[in-house]
Structure 1
Amino acid sequence: MIRRLLSLVVLVWVLGFALFVVTLPQPADDRFTDAIVVPTGAPGRIPRGLELLQAGKAKRMLITGVDRAVKPHELAITQKVPVALFSSSIDLGHEAVDTRSNGEETATWLAARNYHSVRLVTTDWHMRRARFELEHAIGDKIMILPDAVVSEAGLTVLLKEYNKYLFRRVAVLVGL
């Protein structure tokens, strides 16, 4: 009986992983949202957010999880965008240290501005967990538009992210 149960768990995990990989989120359409949020991390996230902001797809952008030593003008230079864009339309969040706290930092930022919609820009393999954390932090009060940055993630990255996603869902389910 225990063998069958373990076999079933392994089978469900393998099938879930396969589904996770073949259904990685894609870039979103061009619709407008009140805000854009970009968690720091993998390449392509910040440039995608900046591209959308400069195209007028949102009023303001939060880059969450930025190291405290990073200054807006430094980021503007490295991203090759006008410093004025950072002054007028971009906030740097320095409180978050992981995906969970990215969600909490973003929820606080959104609530302070009374925004009703947000475009979440993150890597395709990270989107499910980032969206889950943001939804957990804000509830259903704010519409989230997932906008994935397509990557070429390897098997190790995908396995790690799938397991983190599963563990976090279970943790929330049991109240942690």
Structure 2
Amino acid sequence: MLRRVVSLILIAWAAGFIVFAVTLPQPAGAQRSDAVVVLTGGAGRIDRAIDVLGKGWAGRMLVSGVDPKVKPGEFAAQFDLSPMQMQCCITLGYAATDTISNAQEAAGWVRKHGYRSVRLVTSDWHLRRARAELDKALPGYVIVIGDAVQTRPTLRMLMVEYHKLLVRSIPGLEGG
């Protein structure tokens, strides 16, 4: 009996991983939102969020998890942004160090500005967990649009993220 239970658990785990790995989230379309939140840490994320802002799909942008050593002028130069764009439309968030604190930082910013919809930009392999954390941190009336930056994650990266997602889905457990 124990072997059957263990076998069923392993089959469910493996099937879940396969579904997780082959159904990675996709980029969002031209949906509009009040703001865009981009999480640092992966190639193409900030570029995608700047593109969203430039196309008018969102009015303001929060970059969550910026290294405290990065100054606004350096950020603007790296991403070819004008001082006016930085002033009007882009907030650099320095408080976050992991996905949970990204969600907390973003939720505080969304509440402060009274936004009712937000586009979340992060890597495809990271979007499910990042969105779950943001959904937990935001008031229920805020609509979150997931916008995945397509990547080529390694098997190891997918395994680590799958396990983090599983752990975070267990009520009462904490982790980054």
- TM-score tier, shorter chain, comes to over 0.9
Distance in 1 (alpha carbons) for counterparts of 2:139 and 2:172? 17
Closer/same/farther in 2, CA of residues 144 and 9 from structure 1, 3 Å limit: same
- 2:99 aligned with 1:99: yes
Letter in 2 for 1:114: G
Distance in 2 (alpha carbons) for counterparts of 1:154 and 1:82? 36
Partner residue of 1:174 out of 154, 172, 175: 172
Please name the residue that 2:161 is paired with.
161
Superposition misfits of 4+ residues, deviation over 2 angstroms: none
Contact 1:122 1:147 in 2 (8 A): yes
Please name the residue that 2:26 is paired with.
26
Please name the residue that 1:110 is paired with.
110
Letter in 1 for 2:172: V
Task: Count matched residues.
Answer: 174
Distance in 2 (alpha carbons) for counterparts of 1:7 and 1:164? 22
* CA positional deviation for 1:84: 2.0
TM-score, normalization by structure 2: 0.95
SS at match of 1:63: strand
Please name the residue that 1:69 is paired with.
69
SS at match of 2:81: coil
Distance in 1 (alpha carbons) for counterparts of 2:124 and 2:107? 21
Please name the residue that 1:141 is paired with.
141
Contact 1:77 1:83 in 2 (8 A): no
Letter in 1 for 2:140: D
Contact 1:38 1:62 in 2 (8 A): yes
TM-score, normalization by structure 1: 0.95
Distance in 1 (alpha carbons) for counterparts of 2:104 and 2:130? 11
Distance in 1 (alpha carbons) for counterparts of 2:153 and 2:163? 15
SS at match of 2:110: helix
Contact 1:118 1:145 in 2 (8 A): yes
Distance in 2 (alpha carbons) for counterparts of 1:72 and 1:134? 25
Distance in 2 (alpha carbons) for counterparts of 1:121 and 1:46? 8
- 2:151 aligned with 1:151: yes
* CA positional deviation for 1:175: 5.9
Please name the residue that 1:39 is paired with.
39
Letter in 2 for 1:91: T
Contact 1:33 1:118 in 2 (8 A): yes
| CA RMSD of superposed structures (Å) | 1.1
Please name the residue that 2:88 is paired with.
88
Distance in 2 (alpha carbons) for counterparts of 1:9 and 1:123? 29
SS at match of 1:95: coil
